[in-house]
């Protein structure tokens, strides 16, 4: 009877905790569980990133020299420039609104001033009994001018003999006077006014054409 090497593993040895098969299986299961836990932890870490960390990650992922980065930088700079221009424009409009807030009111008061000046222009033939009346009208006109001057309203320079300036004067006709040079004011039909340096109403004048 020949001797045979016994290489068979007892069947009951497969289920023992110390057996190689059981140990490998347990380690495999434990490794998979550990990998799954790491995967879950990684996903949790990605979700828990703050906004600043996400922005930093995006910046680190984009090459500063690539076209995408340059275009994004150009868009950002244009947006900043547009925002600054809008801010300056709104500030300028707000200042102009405050500066010329009384423009419409003063424009409505100009006909009153015109009538006072017109009344004074026709006082040459009045007798002495009307002297006090003329003085009262003159004082009213002076008080009126002082009041509106406090709000920045000043008369346009349109004296007889002054040079015609189309920026502040409006020619309503021409005359020929030998004593005046060409393109000089011969007569002021209606006074003009400036409000804080801006033309509120041009002076209507007759211009000499020699």
User: pLDDT, tens digit, for every residue of 159-170?
Assistant: 888 999 999 999
- Tokens (6 digits) for 5: 């090497």
189: helix, strand or coil: strand
Give the H or E element holding residue 36. helix 20-47
Most confidently predicted of 1-15, 50-64, 118-132, 147-161: 147-161
CA 155 to chain centre: 33
Set out the domains of the chain in order of their start, with CATH numbers.
20-96 (no CATH), 102-208 (2.30.22.10)
Q: How many CB atoms lie within 10 A of CB 192?
A: 20
Phi, psi of 169 (to 5 degrees): -120, 150
Given pLDDT bands bounded at 50, 70 and 90, which one contains residue 40?
low
Please tell me the predicted confidence (pLDDT) of residue 34: 61
Q: Which residues contact 107 (CB under 8 A, 6 or more apart)?
A: 200, 201
Q: How far apart are CA 198 and CA 95, in angstroms?
A: 14
């Amino acid at each position: 009877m020949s001797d045979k090497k016994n290489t068979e593993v007892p069947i009951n040895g497969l289920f023992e905790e110390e057996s190689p098969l059981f140990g490998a299986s347990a380690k495999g299961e434990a490794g998979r569980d550990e990998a799954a836990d790491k995967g879950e932890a990684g996903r949790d870490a990605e979700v828990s990133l703050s906004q600043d960390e996400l922005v930093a990650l995006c910046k680190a992922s984009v090459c500063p020299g690539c076209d995408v980065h340059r275009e994004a930088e150009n868009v950002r700079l244009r947006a900043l420039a547009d925002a600054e221009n809008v801010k300056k424009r709104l500030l300028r409009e707000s200042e102009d609104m405050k500066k010329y807030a009384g423009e419409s009111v003063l424009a409505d008061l100009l006909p009153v001033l015109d009538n006072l000046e017109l009344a004074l222009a026709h006082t040459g033939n009045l007798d002495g009994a009307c002297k006090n009346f003329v003085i009262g009208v003159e004082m009213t006109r002076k008080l009126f001018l002082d009041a509106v001057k406090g709000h920045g309203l000043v008369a346009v320079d349109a004296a007889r003999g002054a040079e015609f300036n189309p920026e502040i004067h409006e020619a309503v006709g021409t005359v020929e006077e030998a004593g005046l040079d060409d393109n000089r004011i011969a007569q002021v039909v209606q006074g003009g006014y400036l409000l804080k340096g801006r033309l509120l109403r041009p002076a209507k004048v007759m211009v000499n054409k020699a």
